[in-house]
Structure formats: structure tokens, C-alpha cells
Homo-oligomer: A and B are copies of this chain.
């Protein structure tokens, strides 16, 4: 049994009790935390430089910026100049705002770049977050935050030291269907919550950087299992007290030479809620969670995708909810960018701050420890 109370967790508002959280949420104070970063209230939009031109940045985040209200694309960082130039043309970014990984630090001198969006392989998150912070830029970093607990701590420290905001791109925490699920739980509509199941995974193609532990830090737990882990935390509003996990590699086809194929884990929360989760890189596994309460059951599936999210619930009185979310990709990325921009513009600490990312990394480290996997 992994006793998580021995962990030194970073301070965070979600470490409040559920009652306290509910009270704060009701008064709108839950996420209004003091921040050390300076506000920039005279400015109306935040200019972002993309760091890494891969699927998530080019296919989702950058398209999301097109309809953003407080967020614009003002820079590109890539090892592929040609690719960057093509994107620069499409988005009206001057070629002078194209950087590579060598001259990255000179973004410091570009006043149009207020923030960076880091969408690099996991193992590079820490370096580029820290370099961006030192360049005086706010950092929106993809999850998982990094590939070690120490890296997460260093990222938080660097952003503090340089008075910049740091947000981890847990877009589900801003996403309406997930917020609706949280509300159904916090409002008491589901009664006393007892148990959660969640899973998230997929059958990975060979050759992805995600299968290289040096780049990814780990397997599906790092990449997609983290959604279930994070969901169990935001759904309960609690931090897990104990956890236990098993991992396995079933397919000996070369994909899993350095990372795990499957992880199954069980967590217990201070209130007594038990959560059972799975993740895989070897099977079809649509992301979902199911929350069992004394007054009803809630099921969200897909729960973590870019679109098509769908919430259903059945209550003891016979009432049912069936709420498909009609919003389309990349609206979640638009909202994510604008939320972070608002945090920067109004000097508000993002609810998905560095501490939030660090906590997940601490739990991931414990899950791997429980599996006997070095991390």
C-alpha cells in the first residue's frame, strides 16, 4: 500500500475539504488566489508563441486561437523552419517571430510574445518552461507537466522567481461537461459519493515518441491515464490518501520496450470514496468516468476528448439526464487559451497551476513505484 500522506504536497486550494470548497465555490472565491505575478491590465490580449509544432498545437491549439477573444498567435518555435514559415503565413505571424530551439531565449526581446504554449515531448517541458520563465514569458504547458517531481518543482520555482504565471493545460477543468459533472456532485444532487470508475487509453501505433521513455517519461499513465487521475481529484475535490497499482506489458511487438502497456490502479480518498482506474496503450479505451452516489449515478463518455462529450445520469427518483455537448473542436482550446490570458491580464492564479501539475506527478510517481517501475 502506498501511503500518500507521507507526500509533501504543494499547497493548493483544492486541498480544502469538500464543504470548504463548496462554500468557496458558491462565493466565487475558489479560484481567486493571490498571485505573485504582475497584472497587465492595460493590455487586452495575450500573444502566444507556440513551442513545438505537432498535432496538438497545429491541429487544435492554434486553430483554437483563431476565435479566441483575449489570445492571439504571435510567435512560433520549431526545429523545422519550413513548417514554421507555412504556419506563420497562415496565421499572419511575422517571420521575425519564428524561433528555433537554439535561439529560443531571444523571445525575451519580442514584446508581442507574452506567453508560450509548450507542446513538446514530455521530457522537454521542464527545460522550455524554465527558459521561457527566464525570458519573462508566462507559460501554458501541456500535461503531463514534466517527467519527474523534481522537474515540476523546478518549473514552479522558475516561474515564481521570474514573476510569470504557470498553467498546466488541464483543459477538462474548464470544459462545460466536466464542470457540469463537478456541479452535480458538489450540489449534492448525486447524494453521497461512494465510488468512481474511470479509464482512458488507446491502441498506439508504433514509432510514436510517446513510446520512448526518454521523451515521454512513461507510458499511457503519463499520457492518458493522467486524465482519469486528475478527474478523480476534481470530481471528488479531494486528494487521494492511498493508492495501489499494477502494470503489465502483454504485446511483445516492440512497442513496449521502454514504457508500460497497461496500468490498473485503485485509490482511496479521505472521505472514503474508492476509485478504480485503468489506462492502456494496447486497446480500445474511450475515456470515461462513472460516479456512484447514494442518490444517482453519473456517467460521462467521452469525458476527455476534444469534442462529442456526453453526460448522462440516472437519479433514484426516476429523473434522467442526457446531455450531449454540441461544442466542436477546437473550442476547448479557445477557452483554455482565453482562460490563461484572463489569468495573466487580471493577475489571477490559474486553478490548474503548477501545484496541480506537481500533485499529479507525485501521484504518478507513487503509481509507478507501486508497479515496481522506476520513475
Query: Is there an interface contact between A264 and B199, defined as CB atoms closer than 8 Å?
Result: no
Which one of A56-64, A111-119, A279-287 is at the interface? A279-287
* Least distance between A197 CB and chain B CB atoms (Å): 5
Could you list 8 further interchain pairs (A-B, Cβ under 8 angstroms) beyond the known A199-B276, A266-B266? Answer: A194-B250, A197-B199, A201-B292, A251-B294, A264-B275, A265-B266, A266-B276, A278-B292
| Contact digits for A347-371, partner B, Cβ 8 Å, 1 yes 0 no | 0000000000000000000000000
Q: Which 6 A-B pairs have the closest CB atoms?
A: A264-B274, A248-B272, A276-B276, A283-B292, A244-B244, A194-B283
What separation, in Å, do the CA atoms of A284 and B271 have in the docked complex? 18
Query: Is there an interface contact between B250 and A290, defined as CB atoms closer than 8 Å?
Result: no
- A and B contact pairs by CB, cutoff 8 A, 19 listed: A191-B283, A194-B248, A194-B262, A194-B280, A195-B262, A195-B283, A244-B246, A244-B266, A247-B274, A248-B273, A248-B274, A251-B294, A263-B274, A266-B276, A276-B278, A283-B293, A283-B297, A284-B314, A285-B292
Our pick among B194, B250, B273 for the contact of A272 (Cβ within 8 Å) is: B250
| A residues 236-267 touching B (CB-CB < 8 Å) | 242, 244-251, 261-267
A108 CB–B CB distance under 8 Å: no
| Residues of chain B with a CB closer than 8 A to A263's CB | 274
| Residues of chain B with a CB closer than 8 A to A265's CB | 266, 276
The chain B residue sitting closest to A281, CB to CB, is B194
Given the known interface contacts A273-B250, A297-B284, the answer about A199 and B266 at a Cβ–Cβ threshold of 8 Å is: no
| Residues of chain B with a CB closer than 8 A to A284's CB | 292-297, 314, 316
Query: Is there an interface contact between A264 and B268, defined as CB atoms closer than 8 Å?
Result: yes
Interface-centre pick from A194, A197, A250, A292 (highest chain B CB count, 10 A): A194
* Least distance between A219 CB and chain B CB atoms (Å): 12
The DSSP consensus for interface residues of chain A is strand
A181 CB–B CB distance under 8 Å: no
Query: Is there an interface contact between B274 and A294, defined as CB atoms closer than 8 Å?
Result: no
Query: Is there an interface contact between B278 and A274, defined as CB atoms closer than 8 Å?
Result: yes
A15 CB–B CB distance under 8 Å: no
The chain B residue sitting closest to A195, CB to CB, is B278
* Least distance between A255 CB and chain B CB atoms (Å): 11
* Least distance between A300 CB and chain B CB atoms (Å): 14
Interface-centre pick from A250, A271, A277 (highest chain B CB count, 10 A): A250
| Residues of chain B with a CB closer than 8 A to A262's CB | 194-195, 272-274
What separation, in Å, do the CA atoms of A275 and B246 have in the docked complex? 9
Query: Is there an interface contact between B245 and A266, defined as CB atoms closer than 8 Å?
Result: yes
| A residues 126-164 touching B (CB-CB < 8 Å) | none
Given the known interface contacts A283-B191, A284-B293, A284-B295, the answer about A246 and B266 at a Cβ–Cβ threshold of 8 Å is: yes
What separation, in Å, do the CA atoms of A315 and B223 have in the docked complex? 23
What separation, in Å, do the CA atoms of A248 and B285 have in the docked complex? 28
What separation, in Å, do the CA atoms of A245 and B276 have in the docked complex? 10
